[in-house]
Structure 1
Amino acid sequence: MIDWYRRKTWTNKDEEEFFAKLKRARVEGRAQYLKIQAIELVETKEKHLLDIAEALLNKVLTEYPESKIETSSVLHTLGDIYRLRANYEKALEYYGQSLDFEKVFPKVITTSYLDFSELVVKTASANLYNFTEALLEDKLAEQLFPVAKYKMCSILSIINHEKGNLVKAKYYHDLAEENANAETSGLRYHKHLGVVVKRDSWLDKMMGRNISFL
């Protein structure tokens, strides 16, 4: 049986049942239930459900501002909604807000740093290249999984190529390839966790286009 806060539909009955159960839930857990339900709806990628998800997430921010443990994730998911709507400027704004919040409340760290950075290069937002480069270089050392390193190094290679830093572009290109081809994560008990299963065709295409620095 599906949990009442993990619905993939939003009929009138769904809405009535959800808010009835939410009202009976402990106050300190309501923000989390709203967020989880919103994420479930976002995963459908259906336009009208994205609108519902946005409304639920905004309820978290306006009605439960004290639930700081949910805030970064809520902002990140709002970024996902606007990315799916192809409103990339707004998506970057929300991802940026999530990153800013994580600086003051680092107990919860989302993938906003990676989604923000990937969107920067995919939209060729040159005004954000320096910020993105510093952001990823700061995050790179703490990454465990090859899949994250592969994407981060690919983005860093593209940015440095666009900036004319060809030595750094090649350095990150080689690191991206190394992590893309890694067969294990290096973890003792979860050797295959976080390895690259499917490469990002767009990032690979961009790095291939920039092969001139080799």
Structure 2
Amino acid sequence: MSDWYRRKNWTENDEIEFYAKLNRAKKDGRAQYLKIQAIELIETKEENLINVAESLLNKYLYEFPEDNFNRSSCLGKLGEIYLLRNSPLKALENFKKAIEFEKIYPNVITQATIKFSEIVIENNIEAEYKYVEEILMNKINSENGLTFNNEKYIVYSILSIINKENGNNKIAKEYTEIAEQSANLESSGFTYHKKLGIVTKRNSILDEKVNK
């Protein structure tokens, strides 16, 4: 049997066994076990299992308020749950909480910034454009910057769209060119992982807005 905290099903027996083992686990590992199990259930994309995942994440947030290492990831996973439920505003709420927490505890950085920004642009939430531009520029200028081409493609496409909306056409064009170059690269540039982080599927909504 695989690890007890990596179940893809959730029968009554699964639930009983999971919590029995969770309660016996070392206290400093329980937060992570809740998160990992929730992620496994989210990946199934089955409604009943997603509901269980949400309860596990909420249990984590309630019972481990002082845990910093898993917090932004768990908030981001709640955002993903609401995306699967087609509730973008609730998704934004949780991704934003993750982003703001990462400002306080930058040791763990998730994809919350990029996912939040994508949702804002895809749903034309113009009231958040200024915030999106701020967090994306901060990400670009951070110590780690943007590592992967798929990140660069998304980020610079979004910045192009926002600058075009603001009438900054020259900057928008520059960002469009960077996004396009990143999307067309067929190698990551890494010696042993040449396909890591390359663009395998383009975002048609972003592409349409960039070329509008």
Sort the TM-score into its range (normalised by shorter chain): over 0.9
Which AA in structure 2 matches 1:190? H
Q: How many angstroms apart in 1 are the aligned matches of 2:167 and 2:49?
A: 43
| Pair 1:201-2:204 in alignment | yes
Q: How many angstroms apart in 1 are the aligned matches of 2:64 and 2:2?
A: 25
| Pair 1:163-2:145 in alignment | no
- After superposition, the CA RMSD in angstroms is 1.4
2:154 to 147, 151, 154: 151
Aligned residues: 209
Q: Look up the match of 1:119.
A: 119
Q: How many angstroms apart in 2 are the aligned matches of 1:55 and 1:94?
A: 15
Q: Look up the match of 1:31.
A: 31
Cα displacement (A) at 1:4: 1.0
Give the unaligned 5+ runs of structure 1. Answer: none
1:173 to 167, 172, 176: 176
Q: Look up the match of 1:94.
A: 94
Deviations 1:167-201 (A, max 9, x none): 22211111110000112223344333211122222
Cα displacement (A) at 1:139: 1.1
Q: Look up the match of 2:40.
A: 40
Cα displacement (A) at 1:23: 1.1
Q: Look up the match of 2:49.
A: 49
Q: How many angstroms apart in 1 are the aligned matches of 2:9 and 2:210?
A: 40
Deviations 1:74-110 (A, max 9, x none): 1111111111111111111110100111111111110
Q: How many angstroms apart in 1 are the aligned matches of 2:68 and 2:166?
A: 37
Q: How many angstroms apart in 1 are the aligned matches of 2:13 and 2:192?
A: 45
Q: How many angstroms apart in 2 are the aligned matches of 1:189 and 1:43?
A: 27
Which AA in structure 2 matches 1:184? S
Cα displacement (A) at 1:2: 2.1
Which AA in structure 2 matches 1:122? E
Cα displacement (A) at 1:70: 0.7
Give the unaligned 5+ runs of structure 2. Answer: none
Q: How many angstroms apart in 2 are the aligned matches of 1:97 and 1:138?
A: 16
Q: Look up the match of 1:79.
A: 79
Cα displacement (A) at 1:42: 1.0
